[in-house]
């Protein structure tokens, strides 16, 4: 009962929950996004003349209908896009893919690996010792996630028709043994403008997001998670990262390119079209407007 009281006290959590579960499927995309935006930011969503990053993300969900986007959000099919643009040497080795978790031969997999769903965000199962993996529980989780249509929660239309499957990738670990550092590069029509470094993800510790400009100046801003007390070190292959991000984002209105640096080598993570679905607060608010200025909206219905 206490859990439900918490949701009732927070309009945003209520709307997010019922939206993700599909109870608002009857509501068309534009009214749904207006409701979500008001619930989060306590102000009206300006779709007629959007100014901020978060406003423009909502506009892009509604009106930027580039058919390539469905491929870009598919964690399986995007691999071919990456291969064509920058080569397969940047791809984390793929160990298998399945439409049904019951078809996974767990015995044949290596001792360590990573399971993901290709059609959503956040479903990651990291196995560091397969003798300790609860296979029954893992299958249960994956089956439940495969039923989920990620489009419903934030009306990110490219996810709507992605055929759901489970993919298995090789487990990656830096020599330091502290997990992977995630580098996210925000690009606007092929120009990298903003770099985020995510540290301590999937470690049980507080995850930190630190933002830098294209010259690696540490920016005084927060977006989704707190920043670190001290700036993370500049990645060894920073220039190569920026080059890769440029190649992967050419001809696209805006996109986030996620990369890893592992033992001196770069690997592709994923492409993200709608960071935080356009519902994460950017502080100070001036940065929401600044990043919004970097987005030049295409013609409606493209």
The values of phi and psi at residue 45, to 5°, are -80, 120
Query: Is a pLDDT exceeding 70 seen at residue 201?
Result: no
The values of phi and psi at residue 215, to 5°, are -100, 10
Q: What pLDDT score was predicted for residue 155? A: 97
d(CA 60, CA 28): 15
> Which tokens sit at 172?
């990656």
d(CA 218, CA 232): 9
Of residues 299 and 296, more confidently modeled: 296
SS3 content of the chain, % helix, strand, coil (to 5): 35, 20, 40
d(CA 295, CA 225): 23
**Rg for the chain, CA atoms, rounded:** 19
Query: Is a pLDDT exceeding 70 seen at residue 26?
Result: yes
**Do residues 21 and 14 make contact, with C-beta atoms less than 8 angstroms apart?**
no
Of 49, 229, 74, 237, which is closest to residue 163 (Cα–Cα)? Answer: 74
Asked if omega into 284 is within 30° of 0 (cis), the reply is yes
Which residue's entry shows tokens 């950017």?
Answer: 282
Beta bridge partners, 272, equal: 256
Q: Where are the beta strands (DSSP E) in the chain?
A: 94-98, 113-117, 124-127, 166-170, 182-188, 191-199, 208-213, 222-223, 255-262, 265-272, 282-283
Chain mean pLDDT for the chain: 93
- Enumerate the domain spans of the chain: 1-41, 46-90+174-297, 93-171
d(CA 61, CA 66): 10
d(CA 43, CA 186): 26
Asked: is 46-90+174-297 a CATH 3.30.470 domain? The reply is yes
Is the sign of the CA dihedral 109, 165, 170, 210 positive or negative?
negative
**Do residues 54 and 34 make contact, with C-beta atoms less than 8 angstroms apart?**
no
> pLDDT by residue (tens digit) across 145-196?
999 999 999 999 999 999 999 999 999 987 765 567 889 999 999 999 999 9
> pLDDT by residue (tens digit) across 111-122?
999 999 999 988
> pLDDT by residue (tens digit) across 249-282?
999 999 999 999 998 899 999 999 999 999 999 9
Of residues 60 and 224, more confidently modeled: 60
Distances (CA, A) of 262 to 3, 74, 211: 40, 23, 20
């Amino acid at each position: 009962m206490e859990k439900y009281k918490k949701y009732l006290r927070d309009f945003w959590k209520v709307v997010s929950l019922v939206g993700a579960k599909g109870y608002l499927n009857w509501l068309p995309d534009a009214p749904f996004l207006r409701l979500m935006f008001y619930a989060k930011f306590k102000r009206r969503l300006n779709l007629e003349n959007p100014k901020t990053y978060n406003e423009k993300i909502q506009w892009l969900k509604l009106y930027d209908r580039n058919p390539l986007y469905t491929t870009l959000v598919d964690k399986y099919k995007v691999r071919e896009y990456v291969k064509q643009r920058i080569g397969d040497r940047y791809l984390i080795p793929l160990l298998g893919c399945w439409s049904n978790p019951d078809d996974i031969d767990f015995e044949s997999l290596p001792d360590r690996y990573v399971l993901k769903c290709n059609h959503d965000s956040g479903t990651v199962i990291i196995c560091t010792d397969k003798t300790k993996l609860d296979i029954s529980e893992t299958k249960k989780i994956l089956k439940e996630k495969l039923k989920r249509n990620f489009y419903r929660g934030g009306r990110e239309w490219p996810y709507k028709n992605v055929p759901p499957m489970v993919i298995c990738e090789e487990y990656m670990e830096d020599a330091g043994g502290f997990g992977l550092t995630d580098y996210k590069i925000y690009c606007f029509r092929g120009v990298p403008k903003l770099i985020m470094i995510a540290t301590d993800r999937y470690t049980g510790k507080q995850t930190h997001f630190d933002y830098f400009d294209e010259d690696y100046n540490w920016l005084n801003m927060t977006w989704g998670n707190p920043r670190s007390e001290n700036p993370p070190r500049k990645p060894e292959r920073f220039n190569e990262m920026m080059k890769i991000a440029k190649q992967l984002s050419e001809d696209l209105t805006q996109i986030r390119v996620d990369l890893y640096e592992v033992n001196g080598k770069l690997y592709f993570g994923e492409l993200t079209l709608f960071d935080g679905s356009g519902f994460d607060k950017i502080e100070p608010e001036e940065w929401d407007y600044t990043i919004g200025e970097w987005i030049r909206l295409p013609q409606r219905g493209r």
